[in-house]
Amino acid sequence: MKKLSYVDHAEEWLSQFSFYIPIKVRFSETDMFGHMNNTAPFVYFEEARIEFLKSVGMFEDLSSKAESVPVVGDLQCDFHQQIYFDDQLRLYVKVESMGRTSYDVHYLAKNQHDHVCLTGRGRIVHINPQTGKPVEITQEIKEQLTTV
C-alpha cells in the first residue's frame, strides 16, 4: 500500500477495521474508460458510514427537529487498484480521532481477491439543523463510536 497522510502504520491501521458492508459495483457506476467511475467511492463511503452510524443508534432521528445531524466536513479517497463492473467489495469503516463536536471516519475497500482497492477518510461534524452550529458529542456516543 502506498504511503498515506492519514495512516501511520499500515498494518496496524488495516487490522483495526471490523465493521463493513458489501458493495457490488453497478453498471451505471462504470464509465467509458471501462472501469468504476471515480465519483462512485464517495457514494459507497456514505452508505458504509451511515450503516455504521445506524449500528450504534446515531442515525435515527433525521427530522428537521432533530437536535443534531451528522454532516461532512471533508472527504478524501485514494485509488489503489482498478475497480470494475460487478466487483464485490467489502467497504470497511471505523472512527478515529474523536473530537468535541466532530470525528474522523476512515474507510477501506477490499475486492473479492482481498486486495486493497480504496482507502479514505473524512471529518464528520455534528450540527444543529436549525442553527447550523456544531453540537457537542456526548460521552456516551463517543464511547459507542469508538468501541465498535
Residue 34 burial (CB < 10 Å; 0-12/13-18/19+)?
A: exposed
CB of 139 to its own copies, least distance (A): 26
Q: Tell me the CA distances in angstroms from 43 to 26, 82, 114, one per residue in order.
A: 12, 17, 21
The size of the chain, in residues, is 148
Under rule CB under 8 A, residue 97 binds its own copies: no
For residue 88, CA distances in Å to 54, 56, 101, 112, 114 come to: 22, 25, 34, 5, 10
How far apart are CB 99 and its own copies at their closest, in Å? Answer: 14
Is residue 85 close enough to count as binding its own copies by CB under 8 A?
A: yes
131 lies in the binding site for its own copies (CB under 8 A) = no
Query: Which of 8, 15, 17, 33 touches its own copies (CB under 8 A)?
Result: 33
Tell me which residues touch its own copies (CB under 8 A): 5, 26-28, 30-35, 37-39, 42-43, 46-47, 50, 62, 64, 69, 71-79, 82, 85, 129, 132
